[in-house]
Amino acid sequence: MGVVSKYFADETVISSLRGHYDANERYSINFHYWLHTATITKDGILVRVGSRRFLVDEFTGAVIREVR
């Protein structure tokens, strides 16, 4: 159970989010800080990381897509 959902660990979301950043940014961004921006929407969970927003599946913790 994590900050974002009771169905998956925070590390699951962080691992999925890292896949959307280049090698230099993957480990320099404090993803744990940004998990507190999570909001539930009708399509999933919206997580903001800086100026970028990602839609996360509410049951698996995988990033569905980046929201522009």
What's residue 6's pLDDT? 87
What's residue 4's pLDDT? 85
- Say how far residue 38 (Cα) sits from the centre of its chain: 8
Task: Give the separation between CA 59 and CA 33, rounded to whole angstroms.
Answer: 21
Task: Give the separation between CA 41 and CA 16, rounded to whole angstroms.
Answer: 19
Residues in the chain: 68
pTM: 0.91
At 1, is the pLDDT very low, low, confident or very high (cuts 50, 70, 90)? Answer: low
5-43: pLDDT as tens digits: 888 999 999 999 999 999 999 999 999 999 999 999 999
Q: Mean per-residue pLDDT for 42-48?
A: 96
Q: What's the DSSP call for residue 33? A: H
